[in-house]
Amino acid sequence: MTVRTAPTHELGATLLRSVRRMLDAAFEGDFSDEDWDHTLGGLHAWVEDERGVAAHGALVQRRALHRGRSHRVGYVEGVAVRGDLRRRGLGGAVMAELERAIDGAYAFGALGASDDGAALYRTRGWQVWEGRLEALGPDGIVRLAEDEGYVLLRPAAGRPLPDPAVPLVFDWRDGDVM
């Protein structure tokens, strides 16, 4: 199967509806409207078969403050494989395209991983962020202690990861911040 890539605006309404249906099914009803909003506006990588969207992932730009500098981060969202095709390499193929984009355009990659998904990312070189997580919210900087241990980072080609001794402060967004 071929992995296709395109920005959100090129997907069209029909394909976007198909992606959303697949994500809703793959996450068994735990994929909110805010999660969907977080998935839009960047680069999508997906695989289709005769039944529709078989696998999907998206890469959106976020900002993270670290050591007084604002970094452009490639944040991975909406990664899933349709239930009947899991464990066949489709998730890895989608991630390979997103990682290629991270290498070409961002300081590093980041994502929030479920226990089920973390194994895929770790085998691809993603590392659990061992430091403190924070977000610059409407009322100032807030700690995201509940997300610590579930956020993974991947260095972009030739670039170092941030120092975990210093908090990583992400931009705010509605719904799950991470």
Q: Tell how strand 43-49 and strand 133-137 pair up.
A: unpaired
- Cβ(139)–Cβ(174) under 8 Å? no
Domain ranges of the chain: 4-171
User: Do 170 and 133 touch, CB atoms closer than 8 A?
Assistant: yes
Give phi and psi for 31, each to the nearest 5. -125, 100
Q: Can you say whether the dihedral through the CA atoms of 93, 95, 99, 105 is positive or negative?
A: positive
pLDDT digits (tens, 9 = 90+) for 109-137: 999 998 888 999 999 999 999 999 999 99
Q: Which two tokens stand for residue 68?
A: 């007084």
Q: Tell me the H-state helices in the chain.
A: 8-26, 33-39, 90-105, 115-123
Q: What is the mean pLDDT of the chain?
A: 96
**Terminal Cα-to-Cα distance of the chain (whole angstroms):** 31
Q: pTM (2 decimals)? A: 0.96
Tokens for 42, please give them: 């960047």
Does residue 100 carry a pLDDT above 90? yes
Q: Which residues pair with 113 in a beta bridge?
A: none
Q: What is the pLDDT of residues 28-51, one digit of tens each?
A: 999 999 999 999 999 999 999 999
The CA-based dihedral angle spanning residues 34, 37, 43, 49, taken in that order and rounded to the nearest 10 degrees: 80
- Match domain 4-171 to its CATH number in 3.40.50.980, 1.10.760.10, 3.40.630.30, 3.30.559.10: 3.40.630.30
Give the count of beta carbons closer than 10 Å to the beta carbon of residue 44.
27
> CA-CA distance, 148 to 127, in Å (whole number)?
12
Tokens describing residue 104? 């070409």
pLDDT in tens, 78-94: 999 999 999 999 999 99
